[in-house]
Amino acid sequence: MVIHRPDATLAVEDCPTPALAERFGTPLYVYSRAAIESAWRAYDQAFAGFDHQICYAVKANGSLAILQLLARLGSGFDIVSGGELARVLRAGGDPARVVFSGVGKTEAEIEQALAAGILAFNIESAAELERINAVAVRSGQRAPVSLRVNPDVDARTHPYISTGLKENKFGIDIQAAEGLYHHAASLPGIAVTGMDFHIGSQLTELEPLVDALSRSLALVDRLEADGIPLAHLDIGGGLGIRYEDETPPTPAALAERLGPLLAGRRQKLLMEPGRALVGEAGLLLTRVEYLKPGHRDFAIVDAAMTDLLRPALYNAWQRIETAEPVDADPRLYDIVGPVCESADTLGSERSLALRPGTLLAIHATGAYGFVMASQYNARPRPAEVLVDGDQAHLIREREPLEALWQGEHLLESP
C-alpha cells in the first residue's frame, strides 16, 4: 500500500501527511508516483499479448509532472482540447501517440493537432467530419480519423458520466456509422484509420464493455468486407476505482474477458484509462477551521467545492479520515467548506473525532480533483505535491492572490 498507516499517522509512500501539510500548507493535493506507475503497468502487462497502446485520458488529471511520468513510461494520451494537447507536448508526450476526442473541436484546435501530427481524431459527428476534411484540404494534409461509434449500451454508471447511450451527446449512432465511414473514405482530406467507443466512466461491471465491443467488431467486419480496413480499434476507458465499497474489475480481468473477442484481430488495440490510473493515487489534505454544533454538527474545513467539485456536482461519496491521532470523541459531522453555497459539502454524516486544527485526508482525489478546481469566491487554487519514496516534490505552487486577477485590466478613465 502506498497510502497507508505505518503507525497512527497516515502516510503517502514514506512521507507522513502531517509533515507534508506543515511544509506545503493546506488544502493540498498529494499524489504517489509509485501508485500511478503501478496502475499504468497493470494495464500494460494485462494487454501484453496484444499489439496495444495505452492513451491516458488527460481530463482525469492534467498536471504536467504526472503527464511527464506517463510519457516516460511510453504512454500515449487521449485529449479533448487544444489546451490538453499543449500540456501533453510540454510534458514531453509523443504527438504520434495522441488521440483527440470531444464533441466540439474548433478549427484552430484541428489545425493545431494536424500540425503536431497526432495519431487520430476521434470523430463525434458528421458535421465534425466535414470540418476536419475542409481544414485538412486547406492545409494540404490528410487527417487520420477514427469514428467514435455510440453503441447504445447502458454503462450502469452515474448519468452525468454515461456516454454510450443514444440519448448522450457523444459519438455517432452505430446504425448511422457505416454510411458515414463510406462517406469519410471518399473525402480527399480524410484517412480512415480506426474505430473508437467509450461508454462511460466509473464502470464496475465488464458486461457493458463486452456488449459494446461485440457491436463494434460486427461493424469492423462489415467495413472490412466493403474494402474499408481499419488499422486500430479504441475500446475507450472507464474502469472504476474504489471510493466506498465498490469492487471494480482489474485490467487483468478486462483483458481476460475481452481477449476471446479480440483474438486474431490485426487491428492495434488502443485504450483510454484515466481515473483508473490516477484516482486512488491521490489525497486532498485539509484542516478543520471550526466545529459548529447544532441540529447538525458541522466541521468547517479550509478545502471547498472550489478544490474538490465531485461531491457538489455528482453527490459523489469520497472517504474522509483523520490523518493523525486526535484526543476527542467521535461524532457525526458534515464536512463543509467556506464557499457561500449550501452545496459546498465534502462529506455528510461522517463519524470522526475532531478538534479545530485536525488534519483530514480525503481519499481517491487523484482524478477529477485539482483538474476541476476553480477560483470561485476568489479562492486561489491549492498546491500539488508528488511523493516519490521519502521525497516530496512541489509540482504546482499554491496560487498567489495576484493570480486571481491575472490577465484582467482596470479601466483607464473615470
Q: Which residues are catalytic?
A: 340
User: Pick from 346, 287, 360: which is nearest to 313 by CA?
Assistant: 346
Q: Estimate to the nearest angstrom the gap between the alpha carbon of 32 and the chain centroid.
A: 16
266 is in an annotated binding site: no
For residues 97 and 107, give the distance between their C-alpha atoms in angstroms, rounded to a whole number: 21
- What is the H or E stretch that residue 174 is in? helix 174-185
CB 280 within 8 A of CB 35: yes
User: Pick from 25, 27, 34, 66: which is nearest to 390 by CA?
Assistant: 34
Number of Cα atoms under 13 Å in the Cβ half of residue 223: 30
Angle at 47 between CA 45 and CA 51, to 5 degrees: 120
**Count of Cβ atoms closer than 10 Å to residue 109 Cβ:** 21
- What is the H or E stretch that residue 122 is in? strand 120-123
272 is in an annotated binding site: yes
**Count of Cβ atoms closer than 10 Å to residue 25 Cβ:** 14
User: Pick from 147, 148, 219: which is nearest to 187 by CA?
Assistant: 147
274 is in an annotated binding site: yes
Give me 185's grid cell: 473514405
Whole-Å CA distances, 40 to 218, 276, 400: 29, 9, 33
104: exposed, middle or buried (C-beta count within 10 Å: 0-12, 13-18, 19+)? exposed
156 is in an annotated binding site: no
368 is in an annotated binding site: yes
311 is in an annotated binding site: no
238 is in an annotated binding site: yes
Helix, strand, or coil (residue 324): coil
341 is in an annotated binding site: yes
CB 268 within 8 A of CB 76: no
314 is in an annotated binding site: yes
For residues 274 and 23, give the distance between their C-alpha atoms in angstroms, rounded to a whole number: 29
Residues making up the binding site for pyridoxal 5'-phosphate = 238, 272-275, 368
Query: Which residues line the annotated binding site for substrate?
Result: 275, 310, 314, 341, 368
Known binding positions: 238, 272-275, 310, 314, 341, 368
